[in-house]
Amino acid sequence: MEKFLLHTCCAPCGIAIIDELKSKYDLTVFFYNPNIYPEEEYLKRKAEVIRVCEEFGVPMIDMDYEIDKWQEIVKGKEDEPEGGGRCPICFGLRLEKTAATAKDKGFEIFATTLTMGRNKKADIINPLGLAIGKKYGVKFFEEDWKKDGRQEKSAEFVKNKNIYRQNYCGCAYSWTVAE
Ligand code: SF4
């Protein structure tokens, strides 16, 4: 089976995808999300991804929480709305780290769960993934995960397994306090 590295942003976006890919590929989940704020939230989302991986028997690579690096690269874009100019930079950082790790560790394919998000446009994320894949010489698995009933499948998993689902994208600028 081909070695597949799946960047996973959170358990609700990842679970149906991990379930779909785990029998088709030699799958490893990759957790690199330095955009998430505050750290308590980062740890909460990561713990849920770990729980899913353990349950499905899929290994996970846990990267460092490089929030300072993330802050640095989005400097000047703090006031952009979600879906504006800050987001492609945020996607790019995470995709680049995934591709670099895939290359380094001998993975043949990499992908991201990001297009599962309702507000995450595949026509922004997929071209970025393809360009970064080309740069690193690793195949990018192009998909719009929100299609073909996967969002519904994900919602079912979240409900049945009582998985934590956040109410904001991730960064401090998208943060709304839960009611
Ligand atoms: S809104 Fe979401 S995708 Fe956009 S910069 Fe913030 S965390 Fe990244």
Query: What value does the mean pLDDT of the chain take?
Result: 95
User: Average pLDDT in the 137-155 region?
Assistant: 96
Atom of ligand 1 nearest to the CA of 89: 5
Mean pLDDT of 110-124: 95
Cα of 23 vs centre of ligand 1, distance in Å, is: 31
Q: Which ligand 1 atom is at minimum distance from the Cα of 120? A: 3
What's the pLDDT score for residue 119? 85
Q: Which residue's alpha carbon is at the smallest distance from atom 4 of ligand 1? A: 87
| 169 Rama sector, left if φ>0, alpha if ψ -120 to 50, beta otherwise | alpha
| Surface-to-core class of residue 113, CB atoms within 10 Å of its CB (0-12 exposed, 13-18 middle, 19+ buried) | buried
Q: Specify the CATH number of the domain 3-174.
A: 3.40.50.620
The pTM of this model reads 0.96
pLDDT tens-digit series, residues 49-89: 999 999 999 999 999 999 999 999 999 999 999 999 999 99
Q: Which atom of ligand 1 is nearest to the CA of 74?
A: 5
Distance CA 79, CA 82 (A): 9
pLDDT of residue 46: 98
Report the nearest-CA residue for atom 6 of ligand 1: 171
Residue nearest atom 3 of ligand 1, based on CA coordinates: 87
Q: Which atom of ligand 1 is nearest to the CA of 87?
A: 4
How far away, in angstroms, is 82 Cα from ligand 1 center? Answer: 6
The pLDDT-based confidence of 176 (bands split at 50, 70, 90) is low
pLDDT band at 177 (very low <50, low <70, confident <90, very high): very low
Rounded to the nearest angstrom, the distance between the alpha carbon of 88 and the centre of ligand 1 is 8
The domain limits of the chain are: 3-174
H or E element, residue 98: helix 86-105
Rounded Cα distance between 140 and 114, Å, is: 13
pLDDT tens sequence across 18-55: 999 999 999 999 999 999 999 999 999 999 999 999 99
With a Cβ cut-off of 6 Å, ligand 1 is lined by 35, 82, 86-87, 90, 169-171, 173-174
Looking at the DSSP assignment, which residues form a beta bridge with residue 5?
Answer: 28, 110
Q: What pLDDT band is residue 179 in, cutting at 50, 70 and 90?
A: very low
